[in-house]
Amino acid sequence: MKLFNRIILITLFLLGLIYLTWPGPRLISDFPPLPNSLQSDEPGDTYQNPNNAAFFSDLRRPDVISYYQNEFSYLNIFGIQIPPLRSNHPPEEAFIYVRDQVPSTYLEQLSYPLRDSLFINGFEPFDEQGKHYREGATEIYVKDGFYKTKTTLRYFGSSISSRLLIYILIWGSGYLIFKLSKKAITEA
């Protein structure tokens, strides 16, 4: 039975190593722009904030999230597609995760634990029926055109060395906790 347990632990450890070293995006430029969109060159949307990009388009939240969920689903290990985790955050937190002074009506996060995260901040001044989300909302006018939404992306990546260091520390801590609890049980 001990041998079987060791084989399972070694297999899990090796699968974790494959997961953490699998190639993925490194920069925000590795993600394609939204279809039929105009890339923003407003202050704060370009070089001022690294790994940040913004697009004006007519795509609503479900289409934007679906598009980037497909683009961010890059982990395909041994033919098994591993989708990213999806988290919904209050739009008020956009200044923390995306950038300061960014307008927001929704904020979602796609992430692979211990690897990287993509924050998708959307600003939609009007809902699908044309009602204002906020008092005083106006249409988005950029470069001789009107757009329904502005989507701002922020990518947080990590280096392989930092991933592996954290991973080894997690396994080491788990091993020490197991040994200590085993010792505590036998002494009790």
Domain ranges of the chain: 33-168
The dihedrals phi and psi of 111, each to the nearest 5 degrees, come to: -145, 155
Average pLDDT over residues 79-87: 89
Does 159 score more than 80 pLDDT? yes
Does 45 score more than 90 pLDDT? no
Does 88 score more than 60 pLDDT? yes
Does 53 score more than 70 pLDDT? yes
Does 65 score more than 60 pLDDT? yes
Burial grade of 123 (CB within 10 A; 0-12, 13-18, 19 or more) = buried
Average pLDDT over residues 93-116: 92
pTM of the model: 0.86
Average pLDDT over residues 58-86: 89
Does 188 score more than 70 pLDDT? no
Q: What is the pLDDT of residue 174?
A: 92
